[in-house]
Amino acid sequence: MKEAEFVALMASIQALMALSIDVMLPALGHISRDLGVSDPNERQYIVGVFLICSGLASLFPGAIADRFGRRPVLLTAVSGYVLLSLVCAVSGSFELLLIARGVAGAITSAMLVLPMAILRDRFDGDRMARTQSMIAMTFMVVPMIAPSVGQAVLLFASWRWIFGIMTIMGLVVITWIFLRLPETLRPEYRQPIRVKVIAGNMGLALRERASFGYFFGAAFVQGALFGYINSAQQLVGEHFGAGTLFPAVFGAMALVMASTNFVNSRIVEHFGARRVSHSALIGYILLAGLHLLIALRGETLWIFVPLMTVTMCMMSFIGANFQAISLQPFVRIAGAAASIMSFLRTVVGAVLGTLIGQAYDGTARPILAAMVVCGLTALLLVLYSERGQLFRRLNPPGFYKNNPPPPAH
């Protein structure tokens, strides 16, 4: 598979997960009214439950894929995505919908983990960061158009047809995987399915100081993003009065983020993943802090959107590069390391995002304060991994204490 098709396929797999969240944002009010939900903040659980269950279950597919290969595990996950989307479409109660969303999140967690492992199978270092940025840029098309698609469905049909669209997209991707994706796990890297081996590999990934701060740092930054997504419809659509323009506003912000992923893919091999991501993290903290000060004095939609967009663009320079840095030492256990990263990023991120979303008070202040706190925490974690030195281009000899990386193939 050539690089362009590889990027498109990996992006499509990740986009299915984004579709599970963003396409239904305009429908959350419709779903809550149709299924008799009285508390307006409870609608956020449709997103939060999916994310939390996906994160909890993500501990397992990496280890399974390290034994049986990436391809069969991925095919199983996308099949589950299709089936559970149908169950959600016919749910008759809010409780059943939440259960179906939770099970869907658990089964499809491999769609978060395995693209990272497959990417590590093929690339390493700054080249991996560059390719991940290209994947992120491509899959960001889905958050751009998904709310508009959801809004369009609601003009002509019930919210249940939104899950029908997810089913169709899942069928397209599973066909593509079946026909075109080769196995990327090298036979000599296969790991046995034994509790001791799996636990040892995951423990090795967590003990690696050079990766530890990036694992958790990415989780805190993601938590702030999830907090915004959870309350975006209430904040932008209702508080700032965007109304039916909400999908267009949300999509425009995603378009700018996609553009910054492209910029990252162009510069990361020249400047290095560390220099780019460390600069972006500091910029993220400063921008969020400035925005919080403005919000405390009052703001309008047209002040909020540009400031939030620029701040979120910093995440485009953080996410892909943090992933490449944290997975660099683990070529032989890429599945287990990707599972740990996905678990921490999704569970910690989803729990933080749920708490931030539930703190929504009709203003942007809780979200912005959370972004500042999460950004500062991520910076401290990165400083721990880097032994107090930022903007390093390459690792010094002996940097990987617990897991010296073998030469990339």
- Residue of 74, 109, 84, 92 whose CA lies nearest to 167: 84
409 residues of the chain, pLDDT tens digit each: 788 899 899 989 988 887 887 788 788 888 988 988 877 778 878 888 887 888 788 888 888 888 899 999 999 999 999 999 999 999 989 999 999 999 999 998 899 889 888 988 888 777 887 887 788 777 666 766 777 788 889 888 899 999 999 999 999 999 999 999 999 888 888 877 777 777 787 788 888 888 889 989 999 998 998 888 888 878 888 888 887 788 788 778 878 887 888 888 888 888 888 999 999 999 999 999 999 999 998 888 888 899 999 998 898 899 888 988 888 888 777 778 888 888 888 778 878 888 898 888 888 899 999 999 999 999 999 999 998 989 876 665 556 555 554 444 3
Is residue 152 within 8 A of residue 26, CB to CB? The reply is no
Structural contact between residues 40 and 135, judged by C-beta atoms closer than 8 angstroms:
no
Could you give the C-alpha distances from 242 to 153, 200, 239, 255, 274, in angstroms and in order?
Answer: 19, 51, 8, 18, 38
Q: What is the DSSP letter of 234?
A: I
pLDDT tens column, 47-70: 888 878 887 888 888 888 888 999
Describe the crossing of helices 70-89 and 61-68 by its angle, rounded to 10 degrees. Answer: 140
Give the integer Cα–Cα distance in Å for 326 and 349: 17
Nearest to 61 by CA among 53, 49, 70: 70
Q: What burial class does residue 232 get, using C-beta atoms within 10 Å of its C-beta: 0-12 exposed, 13-18 middle, 19+ buried?
A: buried
Burial track 83-118 (b if 16+ CB lie within 10 A, e otherwise): ebbebbbebeebeebbbbbbbbbbbbbbbbbbbbbb
Please provide residue 143's backbone torsions phi and psi, each rounded to the nearest 5 degrees: -60, -30
Alpha-carbon distance of 297 to 307, in angstroms, equals 15
**Residue 233 half-sphere exposure toward CB, CA atoms < 13 A:** 22
For every residue of 314-334, DSSP letters joined together read HHHHHHHHHHHHHHTT-STTH
How far, in Å, CA of 249 to CA of 237, rounded? 9
pTM summary value: 0.72
CA distances from 362 to 199, 231, 248, 357, 367 (A): 44, 10, 21, 11, 11
Query: Domains in the chain, please, with CATH?
Result: 3-385 (1.20.1250.20)
